[in-house]
Amino acid sequence: SQTIHQWPATLVQPVGSPLSLECTVEGTSNPNLYWYRQAAGRGLQLLFYSIGIDQISSEVPQNLSASRPQDRQFILSSKKLLLSDSGFYLCAWTLGGFGYTFGSGTRLTVV
């Protein structure tokens, strides 16, 4: 069966520090992959999506970036975090079967 792993679960980082969040999917090939951010009291904002290796689209201009070095690995990065980057980050995948499967999320607090 397919599973999605996301880590770390929680992270506290100082302003200006770098960020790397990782997401991996097991049990499937060539999934569509997504990064969403959920700010406190707000809905989900799509940050990046990828339909294949090195095929990444950005939805919102910001100081975050994403990479997909392997078929089932999706990484969210930042060179210098801002306070406004705090939130709950969710990775998700789909094979086009209508509907995502989400990871358990990373709670990022920038201090």
Judged by the rule CB under 8 A, the positions of this chain that interact with another protein are: 6, 32, 34, 36, 42-44, 46, 49, 51, 57, 88, 90, 92, 94, 96, 98-105, 107
32 bridge partner residues: 94
In the complex, least distance from residue 51 CB atom to another protein, rounded to whole angstroms: 6
The CB-of-97 to another protein minimum distance in angstroms stands at 9
- Could you count the other beta carbons within 10 Å of the beta carbon of residue 73? 15
DSSP class of residue 84 equals G
**Helix, strand or coil, per DSSP, at residue 34:** strand
**Closer residue to another protein, CB minimum distance, 80 or 88:** 88
